Amino acid sequence: MNLYSMHSLLKLMLFTLILIYFIATPIVSTSRRLINNEATLSKIGFRVELKHVDHGSNYTMLERIQRGIDRGRPRLQRLNAMMILDSDSGSGSSDVASKVHPGNGEFLMNIAIGSPPNSFYAIMDTGSDLIWTQCKPCEQCFDQPTPVFDPSNSSTFSKLSCSSNLCQDLPTSTCDDGCQYMYTYGDYSSTQGVLATDTFTFGSGSGSDKVSVPNIGFGCGEDNEGSGFNQGSGLVGLGRGPLSLVSQLDEPKFSYCLTSVDGSKTSTLLMGSLVDTNTKSSNLSDVKASDIITTPLSQNPSQPSFYYLTLEGISVGSTKLPISKDTLALNDDGSGGMIIDSGTTITYLEDKVFTQVKKAFTSQMNLPLDDSGSAGLDLCFKMPKDTSSLEVPKMIFHFKDANLDIPSENYLIGDTSIGILCLAMGSSSGMSILGNVQQQNIMAVYDLAKESLSFIPTQCDAL
């Protein structure tokens, strides 16, 4: 055999070996986009049931709000502390702020992990990114309402390597038998374990009502401490960061529609094509085009997970309050501004802004103040015996390009048993937060491709 023939033979053998390698070896993606569906989510979409953490209880509306405020107090304190740390650092790169997250939440979403699927309720949180659940073997686990996930029973479970992009995106990680994560929350709860991938199943029933998505990255928590998550069996982050469900699905559009906190029906989270389908459904046929308002989303480099809105002013009754735009603005140092957050119960406004709102309601309600403090809210009135003719001032949040006329039942909460009517808002020393009580029966549609948020008046329990 001549030299040319030997060279050709070697090239053929090398090509054959490479071909055999790629046929025999599964390709594992370590990119942020781990999805490998035959049908893309943009074509099929999915619906997830949400329920309030006090769903099915006998608490009054006011009691549920009080409980939510108590649960969320550490979250608010943490959010304010994050803003202070960032503004003090001047660069938004505080080591502490980058490792501690708001935590908690008020709505639970029904999902399943593994093959076969293991169903559970996890906290939905638009203010954080990591998806996680408790896993066996548990060194330290809190009590949860469903069995703890056992990865050895799932044929599709796989640990992520330390070189994977999702591991690199963790604020804190170590390398020991895969990528080890540590996530700490504002109420001193924490989860620690291995970062892995598995198949997630969304929706209920069968057929088109249920969608399975492979290779979702999540934290398999083997050491979980604190009382902040007892109402669920983990957490699903829907924030802007690369670890969140929204980012991993690479799906730019999602929405949720929250029913009344004291209602008996569940709420809804929509992803993908179902967002557009439901915004055009018969349930919304009586909604006028002028009722649908859209405002730009903005970003804060120092807090990249949050969804920021530009609040330019507030009206109470016929009066637009004398609030400077600078007071509401997101500052260059990362402080101030307003986020929309599903995990915070009531709306919190910057101190100076809330003072103006409180003053306006006090002068316009024509009711005596209740200063007993029994409700745990900043502003309450003594409720008259006859509430059938009670008139209350309108409240409008003036966002950039959009005026949100908030339904009165979303900001004034009464309790006839104790005879008080309270403003379901509070003051904040840091950022302002649009809470979930003010979002009741308003479909919030997030479009990350257009960097916009739309509000659609909706009877959410009819979706």
DSSP line for 62-117: HHHHHHHHHHHHHHHHHHHHHHHHHHHHSSS--HHHHHEE----SEEEEEEETTTT
Measured distance CA(78)–CA(248) in Å, rounded:
26
- Token pair, residue 357, equals 């709102």
Catalytic residue annotation: 125, 341
Using CA atoms, how far residue 40 sits from 110, 172, 251, in Å, is 21, 32, 10
* Buried/exposed code over 43-68 (b: 16+ C-beta within 10 A; e: otherwise): ebbbbbbbbbbbbeeeebbbbbbbbb
Measured distance CA(12)–CA(438) in Å, rounded:
68
Measured distance CA(339)–CA(309) in Å, rounded:
6
First to last CA, the chain: 76
Of 337, 355, 349, nearest to 406 by C-alpha is 349
Measured distance CA(92)–CA(267) in Å, rounded:
35
3-state helix, strand, coil in the chain (%, to 5): 25, 35, 40
